[in-house]
Amino acid sequence: MTKTEENLRAAFAGESQANRRYLAFAERAEREGYPEVSRLFRAAAESETVHALFHLRIMKEVKSTKENLETAITGETYEYEKMYPEFIEVAQAEGNKAAVRSFSYAKDVEIGHAERYKEGLESVKDGRDLEPTDYFVCQICGYIVAGETLETCPICGSPREKFKTIG
């Protein structure tokens, strides 16, 4: 990897993080009664997304949907099989209960991501799209359910109102 390729990776990571960080800052500003500061954070967040996507395009890491699904499955599988279990172990040893919870939610939810992506990959290999469906995403743990909301989230136990619709 050239130095510039390395820098593109670093810049993509940084800009992606800035996007999510600014959206979280925007929410906080809204809650503190600064709607215009919130708007500025949202505008900057959008701008960082433009930067992130430009870097990503140059990195040529967006491939065919079949390849992208394979990449996604590899990433999700690594996260739930190796990365999160290790992170959880360390957080437990350090007595950081909040981190244990956050990592555990993510680990449990990534399993579902990998499964859904595998279904997507099978479809695409057969030359067809997935069946149309709405998705509902738990705003506490990230669990995805398709088709209809659940009474309670199977991962974190949150009620139906905590699910956001991705229509």
Which residues of the chain form contacts with Fe ion (CB under 5 A)? 15, 48, 51, 76, 110, 113, 138, 140-141, 143, 153, 155-156, 158
Residues sharing a CB contact under 8 Å with residue 60, sequence separation 6 or more, in sequence order: none
In the complex, what is the shortest distance from the CB of residue 51 to Fe ion, in angstroms, rounded to a whole number? 4
CB closer to Fe ion, 35 vs 43: 43
Single out the residue of 107, 102, 88, 85 nearest to residue 140, CA to CA: 102
Place of tokens 């067809």: 128
Rounded CA separation 20/25 (Å): 9
CB of 127 to Fe ion, least distance (A): 26
Token pair of 143, please?
A: 């669990």
Nearer to Fe ion, 8 or 110 (CB): 110
Give the nearest distance from C-beta 123 to Fe ion in angstroms.
Answer: 19
- Of the candidates 162, 159, 131, 163, the residue with the CA atom closest to the CA atom of residue 148: 163
1: tokens are: 């990897």
Q: How far is the CB of 33 from Fe ion (least distance, A)?
A: 27
* Of residues 88 and 141, the one with the C-beta less far from Fe ion: 141
**Nearer to Fe ion among residue 14 and residue 35 (C-beta):** 14
